């Protein structure tokens, strides 16, 4: 299993729109991915309820785990972007 740690760049954390975009990207990847706070058990990263339920705030680190390293790289890049910023 591959693992990546990333700080959440969205100013609102993983809530509402950023959580939706992230979970959609996980589902689109087709990979089984878990997300967790460092040292905590992971949850299904494709579930918006689980992701939002974590209450991750701006700047907090999360750990993504999957067998699909390419999917992880894309998801890390996504979380390292402010997904709630004006386009």
Q: How far apart are CA 38 and CA 31, in angstroms?
A: 21
- Output the pLDDT for position 82: 94
What domains sit in the chain, N to C, each tagged with a CATH number?
2-79 (3.30.1340.10)
What pLDDT was estimated at residue 85? 77
DSSP state of 56: P
Q: What is the pLDDT of residues 28-85, one digit of tens each?
A: 999 999 999 999 999 999 999 999 999 999 999 999 999 999 999 999 999 999 998 7
State the pLDDT confidence band at 87, using cuts at 50, 70 and 90.
low
Please compute the mean of the pLDDT values over residues 8-33 and round it to a whole number. 96
Could you count the other beta carbons within 10 Å of the beta carbon of residue 78?
18
Structure tokens at 72: 């992880």
With a cut of 70, say whether residue 86 has pLDDT above it.
Answer: no
């Amino acid at each position: 299993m591959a693992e990546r740690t990333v700080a959440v760049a969205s100013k609102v954390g993983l809530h509402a729109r950023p959580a939706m975009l992230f979970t959609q990207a996980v589902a689109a990847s087709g990979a089984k991915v878990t997300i967790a706070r460092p040292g905590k058990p992971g949850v299904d990263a494709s579930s918006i309820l689980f992701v939002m339920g974590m209450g991750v705030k701006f700047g907090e680190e999360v750990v993504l785990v999957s067998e699909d390293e390419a999917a992880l790289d894309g998801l890390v890049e996504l979380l390292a972007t402010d997904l709630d910023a004006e386009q």
